[in-house]
Structure 1
Amino acid sequence: MTIQEASERYHIPMHILREYESWGLCGAVKKVMGDWQYDDGDLERLSTIMTLHDIGFTVEEVEAYMRLLLEGDHTAVQRLSMLEKKRSAALEEIHFKERQLQRLDYLRYEIRKAQEGKKG
């Protein structure tokens, strides 16, 4: 499968495919008639890359994670640590947003309470 076919079939932006190629992490990808050819393993790794992008990993973090992944199972602890850090950051962000919502709801409550006081 060519880069264009992979982009269209799996809805992967071309810039991500180009990043993947530039990292040299393409595994068994071969150039045929000037186009990179992706195998099933490449598509699986691309799926992981998309997931990492979607959960907020930076380009540098994605590359580091993928290099560890390709090194093998002995890097599982390091990869898990990266995921745990990202999870902790996401939870902190959620808690911050929850506090914002509480403040927002309080202000809404105060306005409604004041409006009801004017009606009575």
Structure 2
Amino acid sequence: MTIAEASKKYDISADTLRYYERIGLIPPVPRTKSGIRDYDEASCGWIQLMKCMRKAGVQIEALIEYVALYQQGEETARARKAILEEQREQLRMRLEEMQESLHLLDKKIQHYEETVCAAEENLRKIEKERG
């Protein structure tokens, strides 16, 4: 699959794919004899993983380290797992913070519905009585 096809399939720009490869966020992509990137199933799997992880807010540095360890072989499996566990915990903490923020927003909206909307309704009644 060409870079243009991969870009379209995963909704990520070709420049971003090149950048991800350059900084080690995805392993080097196989190339044709003429040097054109040829995204295979493994490369596409890395794109999917990194897109998902970045969308979740996982740190680029942690992902680069993960890929580098992966390229070193199976003896780094525990270190890779530790990175994933650490990132999972950070994500859980962010989710908790977001849940707290959502709860606060819900309370604020409810307050407006109870007070502002009620006040507006009272004003309409008064205007109706006058008019």
Are 2:2 and 1:2 aligned? yes
CA apart distance, 1:18: 0.5
Q: Answer 1 or 2: which has greater strand percent.
A: 1
1:87 to 1:38, Cα distance in 2 relative to 1, 3 A: same
CA contact (8 A) 1:7 1:17 kept: yes
How much does 1:47 deviate?
2.1
**Equivalent runs, 1:66-81 vs 2, <5 Å:** 66-81=67-82
**Coordinate RMSD, CA, aligned:** 3.0
SS in 1 for 2:28: coil
Does the 8 A contact of 2:58 with 2:91 survive in 1? no
Aligned to 1:15: 15
Task: Give the letter for the 1:80 counterpart.
Answer: K
Hey, what does 2:28 align to over in structure 1?
26
Task: Report what 1:35 is aligned to.
Answer: 36
- Percent sequence identity is 26
In 2: Cα distance, 1:108 partner to 1:40 partner: 47
Q: Superposition pairs for residues 48-87 of structure 1, below 5 Å?
A: 48-87=49-88
Amino acid at match of 2:64: E
Number of aligned positions between the proteins: 117
Over residues 24-65 of structure 1, what are the superposed CA-to-partner deviations in whole Å (9 max), with x where a residue is unaligned?
6215x1244352222222222222222222221233222211
Shift of 1:101: 4.1
8 Å Cα contact 2:2-2:37 kept in structure 1: yes
Paired residues of 2:3 and 2:39 also in contact (CA < 8 A)? yes
Distance in 1 of aligned mates of 2:17 and 2:70: 17
Conserved 8 A contact 1:3-1:37: yes
TM-score (norm 1): 0.70
- Is the Cα contact below 8 Å between 1:49 and 1:66 reproduced in 2? no
Preserved contact between residue 30 and residue 37 of structure 1 (Cα < 8 Å)? yes
Task: Tell me which moved more, 71-80 or 93-102.
Answer: 93-102
- Residue 97 (1) aligns with residue 95 (2): no
Q: Which runs of 5+ in 1 are unaligned?
A: none
Q: Which amino acid aligns with 2:34?
A: M
